[in-house]
Amino acid sequence: MQYKQLGKSDLKVSEVGFGVWTVATNWWGRIEPEDGVKLLQDAFELGVTLFDTADTYSDGFGEEILAKALAEHRKEVVYATKFGYDIYDTTPREGHKERTQKFEPEFVRYACEQSLRRLKTDYIDLYQLHNPRVTAIQRDDVFATLEDLIAEGKIRYYGAALGPDIGWFEEGATFMGERKGASVQIIYSIIEQQPARDFFPIAQENEIGLLSRVPHASEILTEKFRNTPPVFEAGDHRAHRNQAWLDEAVRKLEELRFLQNHHALDLDQLAISFALSEPSICSVLPNITTTENLKVYTAASEVERPCNDCLVQLQTLFDEVFTKELAPLDKAGKSR
């Protein structure tokens, strides 16, 4: 495993991190709690030090399972969690419908205290605004509260985790340009390159570390689904993908054969290696659900990166082919 400094912070993170939501919710397949604990512990043994969770993952369970798995290694790992949703509202939630957001200073402080309790720690390494809109990012009182929490030793750094359906480019650009955050979490993959590419120069200019999630684009960029579009159970977060989008994404794989002809790696690792080729991306957060993909994904930190010619070809392919193919779906409101 290789490690990078997270932006201008003094946090060093593994190039492959662990998105805890896969073991804390039933939104990415079903995993029993004891199996989730084992996966988290195995990830640490394989060199993973960045563990990204949120208070909203199963109403706090995403933080509790992290504490259960890694409490004895607390000083060796980076805990990243998120805030901004009122998980304490007792109104029943409908499916994956977005919760009510709250960014009032009193709530931010309360949410932080509750996360500290569930994580069984006295500090959070990276505290991230969860899907903030521009209005939240423009609130000086929110960031004054975060600075107070830093001064009190309750958090070390803060960042933002973005949409894309809920706040995206304007939010990211505003946060990086106007706030003193350490990181921004984005979506970036071979077949979903924008608007992430537009973030890169802004991140570099402001010394912001980027965390890139879902590099496999709903599992499309894996060997498992090379020839057949995936089918997801009801309730799985990936089930929101329009079937036409999935079919189109699988067809795109044919356009990527040149990449594997030039770099003798499986698609699972190439997808991660592609994201890590961008200097401003410090860590990639693939969705880990099995011991098998944990081993494959973590090993991707050590494999060769796509060469510059391949990267240029992938960018051209996205701009001139992939984007045009997806355009009708976007206009119909049916794409991701």
Please report whether residue 39 resides in a domain: yes
Task: Provide the number of structural domains found in the chain.
Answer: 1
Q: Given the residues 3, 57, 85, 297, select the one marked as catalytic.
A: 57
DSSP string, 59-122: TTHHHHHHHHHHGGGGGGSEEEEEE-B-TT--SPP-TTPPPPB---HHHHHHHHHHHHHHHT-S
Does any domain span residue 293? yes
Query: Is the pLDDT at 331 greater than 90, yes or no?
Result: no
Residue 145 pLDDT > 90, yes or no? yes
Whole-model pTM over 0.85: yes
Residue 234: inside a domain: yes
The Cα 248–Cα 336 span in angstroms is: 12
Mean pLDDT of the chain: 89
Report the CATH number that the domain containing residue 136 is assigned in CATH.
3.20.20.100
Asked if residue 244 is part of any domain, the answer here is no
The mean pLDDT value for 69-93 works out to 92
Measured between alpha carbons, how far is 105 from 251 in angstroms, rounded to an integer? 48
d(CA 336, CA 194): 12
Judge whether 182 and 11 are in contact, CB under 8 Å.
yes
> Would the pLDDT of 62 be above 80?
yes
Residue 248 within a domain: no
- The rounded percent of the chain whose pLDDT value lies above 70 is 87
Q: How far apart are CA 9 and CA 7, in angstroms?
A: 5
What confidence score (pLDDT) does residue 77 get?
A: 98
Whether 145 maps to a domain, the answer reads yes
Q: Is there a catalytic annotation at residue 57?
A: yes
Q: Which three-class secondary structure state does DSSP give residue 291? A: helix
Structural domain harbouring 191: 3-239+267-306
Length of the chain equals 336
Is 134 within the bounds of a domain?
A: yes
Is residue 286 over pLDDT 70?
yes
The predicted pLDDT at position 16 comes to 98
Confidence tier at 255 by pLDDT (50, 70, 90): confident
pLDDT confidence of residue 318? 92
